[in-house]
């Protein structure tokens, strides 16, 4: 199975996915990275591992639908079976979601449906929660609301700072995402 990983930033989940595929824990090939940020460290990771990249500047397109149509063509040309969002900081349009219906996964740093949105770790921490977690879910038209593939709880201790909680969440993400992708790919077969 061919994966396309969408990134906007550091790319630590991208790296975890690559590492799992190389160790054969994830039986898939990272065929392509899609990136919308020329300064993303994820691009260096892709280059180091010789993963082809499609880097685009959304500002050069008339609207989201126009760049998404191009991306869908690229994905189809590369025979991508599953789209994996890994820190991609853009909301996909219904067009894109329809083109890859039930074939887009996202990782979210909370126990959905709690703490949806871009600041889930901070929101859970500021709310004084005793636990939060990580969710891998199928992307649907409603943000952070698709069917859950896998979740794991993360305790928030009294000694945690926002930074230490972020580190705990990221460690869980790096282990959970490849596992969830493998589980989901088995369900598609």
Q: Which residues are catalytic?
A: 108
Query: Are 178 and 25 spatial neighbours (Cβ–Cβ below 8 Å)?
Result: yes
Helix runs in the chain, H state only: 12-22, 41-48, 64-77, 94-99, 120-126, 162-188
For the record, the structure tokens of 7 come out as: 């990134």
> What residues contact residue 65 under an 8 Å CB cut-off, 6+ apart?
93, 95
Given a contact cutoff of 8 angstroms between Cβ atoms, the answer to whether 86 and 11 are in contact is yes
What strands lie across the sheet with 53-55, from one edge to the other?
53-55, 29-35, 2-7, 82-85, 104-108, 131-138, 148-155
Cα 146 from Cα 189, distance rounded (Å): 20
């Amino acid at each position: 199975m061919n994966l396309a990983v969408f990134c906007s930033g550091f790319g630590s989940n991208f790296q975890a996915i690559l590492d799992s595929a190389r160790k054969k824990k994830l039986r898939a090939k990272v065929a392509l990275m899609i990136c919308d940020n020329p300064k993303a460290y994820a691009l260096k990771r892709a280059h180091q591992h010789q993963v082809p990249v499609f880097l685009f500047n959304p500002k050069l397109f008339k609207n989201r639908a126009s760049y998404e149509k191009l991306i869908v063509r690229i994905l189809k040309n590369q025979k991508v079976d599953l789209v994996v969002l890994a820190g991609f900081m853009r909301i996909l349009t219904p067009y894109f979601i329809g083109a890859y219906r039930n074939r887009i996964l996202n990782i979210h740093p909370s126990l959905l449906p709690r703490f949806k949105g871009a600041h889930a770790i901070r929101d859970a921490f500021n709310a004084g929660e005793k636990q939060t977690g990580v969710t891998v879910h199928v992307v649907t038209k409603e943000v952070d609301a698709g069917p859950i593939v896998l979740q794991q709880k993360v305790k928030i201790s009294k000694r945690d700072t926002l930074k230490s909680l972020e580190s705990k969440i990221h460690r869980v993400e790096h282990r959970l995402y490849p596992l969830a992708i493998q589980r989901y790919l088995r369900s598609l077969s």
